[in-house]
Amino acid sequence: MNYKNGWLRVLALMSVLALAFASFEAAAAPLTAALALDVKGKIAKTNDADHTAFHFSEAQLLALPAHSISTSTTWTAKSTFTGPLLADILKTVGAYGDEIEIHTLDDYTYTVPVSDSSRYGVIVAYSMNGKRLQVSDFGPLFLIYPRDQFPGELAGASADAKFVWQIKALIVK
């Protein structure tokens, strides 16, 4: 075998392997949506160009102190949910309203009172049992109340509406 031909074959084989590996890696990459959250309405602090919204990046959400709530929900067996306190998000943006209108990727909207944040220590969860919530699995952000600790107030069908998943924005009213 000719010396030059041999090396060309090795190079060709290596590029085929590299390409195959690259596409395998792309296919195996987890479908985790980047965390992001927009807060608008009655807020004293904004960080966007036209001063109407506070946009939380993934890094900003992860920088807030993480809190956990262990509870069952209508859709999930008892699990540990983790994320920032809704109260800390509201504090960061200087929220001064009484209600929060929540908007989601699937265009569901529900309004909860700001008082829920301190009464129940509500969290905006980005993980369940240590795993990031996927969009197909209530992610990227899921409003979690300590339902098991307040069965009278939070376990009924009417309270289910508070467990809003696929959150993309909060409007303080």
Q: What is the DSSP letter of 95?
A: B
Is 161 a binding residue for ligand MTE by CB under 6 A? The answer is yes
165 binds ligand MTE (CB under 6 A): yes
C-alpha angle 161/163/167, rounded to 5°? 110
Measured distance CA(134)–CA(26) in Å, rounded: 17
Counting residues that bind ligand MTE (by CB under 6 A) gives: 9
Query: Which CB, 94 or 105, lies closer to ligand MTE?
Result: 105
Instruction: State residue 143 phi and psi, 5-degree precision.
Output: -75, 120
15 alpha-carbon distance from chain centroid: 38
Strand partners, 102: 110, 170
Helix (H) or strand (E) holding 106: none
Interface stretch with ligand MTE, choices 13-21, 25-33, 41-49, 160-168 (CB under 6 A): 160-168
Q: Is 134 a binder of ligand MTE (CB under 6 A)?
A: no
Decide the pairing of beta strands 79-84 and 66-71: antiparallel
Binding of ligand MTE by 109 (CB under 6 A): no
Q: At 124, is the secondary structure helix, strand, or coil?
A: strand
Is residue 160 within the footprint of ligand MTE (CB under 6 A)? yes
Q: Which does 18 bind (CB under 5 to 8 A by kind): Mo ion, ligand MTE, none?
A: none
Stretch that binds ligand MTE, among 25-33, 54-62, 129-137, 157-165 (CB under 6 A): 157-165
Q: Does 163 bind ligand MTE (CB under 6 A)?
A: yes
Instruction: Give the residues lining the site for ligand MTE (CB under 6 A).
Output: 104, 106, 108, 160-161, 163-166
